[in-house]
Each structure stands twice: as C-alpha cells, then as structure tokens.
Chain A
Amino acid sequence: MGTGRQGDDHPDEDREETDRTGREIGNDHRRVIEYLIDNEGWTYKLPEGGGYPRLYPADRSQSAIRVPKTGRTRGRAFSNWIADVRRKGGHWPPERE
C-alpha cells in the first residue's frame, strides 16, 4: 500500500474485481458509476470497515474519488463530483445529442 510513485497510482494496488453499487449511494451517482464500470474500465470499492465508497479511474495515474453516501448530497455537490469524474478522464454524459 502506498509504495508507488507520487500521484501516479492508486493506494489500493491489491484490489481485485470491482464491487457493484448498492443502496449505499444515491441513484444519480449509481447511474454514472455503473456506466463507468461497464464501459470505461473504472472500478468501485466499498471499504469493508465502513467509510466512503471509492471510485477508481481506469487511468491508474489518477486518484480515487470518494462517493458521497445516500441522502448526503445536494445539487452543487453532484456537480462538483461529476466535474471530478470528468477531470479524471471519465466521459459523462456518455452520448452526444
């Protein structure tokens, strides 16, 4: 853990298969995360001992994003979270009009 180069790997190098999202997070976040897992190679981990779920970008040089828990976000918080996903290479919304 944490033995990699600065800022260019995820702390949980030993993680395996991605978890799937559940009721721990809100529907808006779940929709984005499921898309990123299924289509862009991102992974999702729900820490066993509690704590915030983490979303790992496919680009392993990018940091893991924490996911707010159900009922704990408002509109601006979701915008900030989406901006972070996009900043780390996630494509959302996925389709052009």
Chain B
Amino acid sequence: MGSDWYSVHTEVRASAGVQGLTVDENAADALMDLLEQHDGVVSTGTGAWAATISVEASNAWEATSSGSDLIEKLADKAGMPNWPAVRVDVVRQDVLEAENIRPTLPELVSGPEAAEILGVSPQRLRQLADGHTSFPEPMYELRAGKLWLKDAIEAFDRRWDRKPGRPRKAARTPG
C-alpha cells in the first residue's frame, strides 16, 4: 500500500484549576527546532499551545496516531507543559494545499451591486430587501448601507419568480 503526506495539528490546553499557565518561550523555540525536520510550526498562548507537523503515512488514521505521538514525544523533550490534547486535526497534504489557496473571505456586494446582479433599479432593490419574504438578510448593516453575500444574491436571482411590469402598489383603504 502506498503512502501519502499528512498534516497533523495537535492543540493542548491546561486543565481547569492548573497553576502556572505560562508556556516557557525557550521551550517553544526548542520545539520549533525539533519539529523543523517535520515541517513543523508551533503556536503558544496562555494555558495552551499547538503544533503542526507533516508525517508520511498510509492513511489518515495512521497519520493521526504517528503524528500526535511524535508531537507529544518532541514536546516533552523540549520541555513544553504536559497538558492534555484537546484537538487533533489531520488532513492529507494535497487536500490542505488545495484548501489553502481558497480565499476565506466571502465575496460581499453592496446594494447597487446587488441591484446590478438582479437587473433592477436601486429603488426596486430596496423594495425587495424590505418586502420580499425570501430576499436574503444582509451580512452587515453599516452606516453606508447594507452588504450581502454575493452567493446569496445570485441564488435569489435564480429562484426569484419575477412578475413582468411594475410592482403593484399596496392597496389603499379608502379614507
């Protein structure tokens, strides 16, 4: 059976009530040194630290076991606090690299841009936003205006059952 590279991320945290939540920065630097040949990176906070390395394994289960064992062993050698692991994330390296190039910020559009996508006037857009039951909620409402997820506006455009002509005004009660 062939093997692949996997990225293994382990996060540890001090248990509740533990005294001394500071991670020795020299120990963390020593762990960086020890993990260098394993493509490692270390992060430290108060009462918590984490490390990521790459390991070669035949599957994700094996990578989880060998990677977290290696991190634990080298962390102990470096003098890192022996706190319990609270998270282990494992992902095949090529999958991680594909994820890494995908932007994490969603694409947002303003009112005029949303109107352009839908092919309506800004005024009609405001009517839709205020009155159409399935119009998406804005992600943000700023002083300068609302921002929507572009995907949500495009999805609305696909499902919107447009009625030709001008929208009917609400019926007035005779006064």
Contacts and interface: CB of A to CB of B under 8 A. Distances in A.
A8 interface: yes
A64 B53 CA distance: 17
Contact of B100 (A8, A79, A94): A79
A31 interface: no
Contact of A93 (B22, B40, B101): B101
A91 interface: yes
Interface string A1-35: 11111111111000000000000000000000000
A80 B97 CA distance: 9
A63 B36 contact: no
A91 B29 contact: no
Interface residues of B, number: 41
Given A84-B52, A87-B9, A96-B103, A64 B46 contact: no
B44 A94 contact: no
B85 to A, nearest CB: 13
Contacts of B46: 2-11
B167 interface: no
Contacts of B97: 79
A52 B29 contact: yes
Contacts of B52: 80-81, 83-84
Contacts of B5: 76
Contacts of B26: 51
A84 B103 contact: no
Interface residues of A, number: 40
Interface string B101-137: 1011101000000000000000000000000000000
Contacts of A51: 25-26, 29
A82 interface: yes
In order of increasing CB-CB distance, the 4 nearest A-B pairs are: A2-B22, A6-B47, A63-B45, A7-B48
Interface of B: 5, 7, 9, 13-14, 16, 21-23, 25-26, 28-29, 32, 36, 39-50, 52-54, 91, 93, 96-97, 99-101, 103-105, 107
Interface of A: 1-11, 47, 51-52, 62-66, 68, 72-74, 76-77, 79-84, 86-88, 91-96
23 contacts: A5-B47, A6-B14, A6-B48, A7-B48, A8-B45, A10-B46, A11-B22, A51-B25, A51-B29, A52-B29, A63-B44, A63-B50, A76-B5, A76-B7, A80-B53, A81-B41, A83-B9, A83-B52, A84-B41, A84-B43, A87-B9, A91-B104, A93-B101
